[in-house]
Amino acid sequence: SIAADAEIDRKLASLFDQARETPPVAVEIRTIGGSVDFVDRMLPGIVVMFLLFAVTLGAQTLVEERRTGTLERLMTTRLGVNQLFAGKFLASLARATLQALILLSLGFAILRVAGPWVFVQIMIFILFVAAAVSAVGLVIGAVARTRDQAAWFAVFFTMFMTIFGGTFFDVGDTGPLAVLSKITLNRYAIDAMVAILGEEEGILQQGLGMAVLGGVAVVGLVAARFAFKTTEGGR
């Protein structure tokens, strides 16, 4: 009986050694819909979403100032239409950039996601994002005739960009959602920021994202200036 017990112990020990060397079961961790580092995608997604909300504020403000005659009264000063229009764009750009600066400062300080140089690169890229969303806000404000119209246009734009742009999850490179995401600002903005934040690439490698966002800003500004009116009567 003692010999049998010893044989059993030896056999079990041999099996345990075998299992440790070549485990019959392995655990593989996969993150579905994004990178393993969740913060690297969540932080840019939140920042871009907040910048899109600035579209609503900018569009509504422009419509309200036209309705109350504020824009018309400004035209009695030395300001020209182009100067007034440029001022509206720069004010929106500054407001959006300041929002991003506050959010990113808190994120970097509390979460410690990256170093100072990454922060600087992100803020440089944010200028392109802020310019694009500010231009879109001016387009909506220029074509909307009521405050409610401006709000609904801006909300639809924001929700479409947020939902289909892969704001909080990676939509990948294939499939209907991936194709649809390529017509959103979020796809280019967030993918570039994720790459910079993860230190996979620098600001110099984000040529596509900057070109798309810069193109949207230029086209949006031209369209908004063409539709820009200082009075409800259309002047």
**From the first residue on, what is the mean pLDDT of each consecutive set of 10 residues in the chain (235 residues)?**
66 71 61 52 87 82 86 84 90 92 90 88 95 93 88 90 84 84 92 89 93 96 89 63
Quick check: 216 and 185 in contact, CB under 8 A? yes
Q: Rounded to an integer, what distance in angstroms lies between the CA atom of residue 145 and that of residue 127?
A: 29
Q: Rounded to an integer, what distance in angstroms lies between the CA atom of residue 74 and that of residue 25?
A: 74
Q: What is the pLDDT of residue 80?
A: 86
Q: Rounded to an integer, what distance in angstroms lies between the CA atom of residue 40 and that of residue 35?
A: 8
* Residue tagged 């800003």 (tokens): 217
Q: What is the pLDDT of residue 36?
A: 40
Q: What is the pLDDT of residue 23?
A: 66
**CA angle, 116 as apex, 113 and 120 as ends, to 5°?**
105
| Side chain identity at residue 162, one-letter code | T
Angular region, 28: left φ>0, alpha ψ -120 to 50, beta rest: beta
Q: What is the pLDDT of residue 2?
A: 57
Quick check: 164 and 184 in contact, CB under 8 A? yes
Q: What average pLDDT does the structure give for the chain?
A: 84
The DSSP element (H or E) to which 157 belongs, if any, is helix 147-164
Contacts for 160 with CB less than 8 Å, ≥ 6 apart: 184
Q: Rounded to an integer, what distance in angstroms lies between the CA atom of residue 193 and that of residue 230?
A: 37
What's the pTM value of the predicted model, to 2 decimals?
Answer: 0.79
| Side chain identity at residue 12, one-letter code | L
User: Which tokens belong to 143?
Assistant: 């074509």
Nearest Cα neighbor of 221 from 125, 126, 142, 161 is 142
Q: What is the pLDDT of residue 31?
A: 46
Collapsing DSSP to helix, strand or coil, 33 comes out as: coil
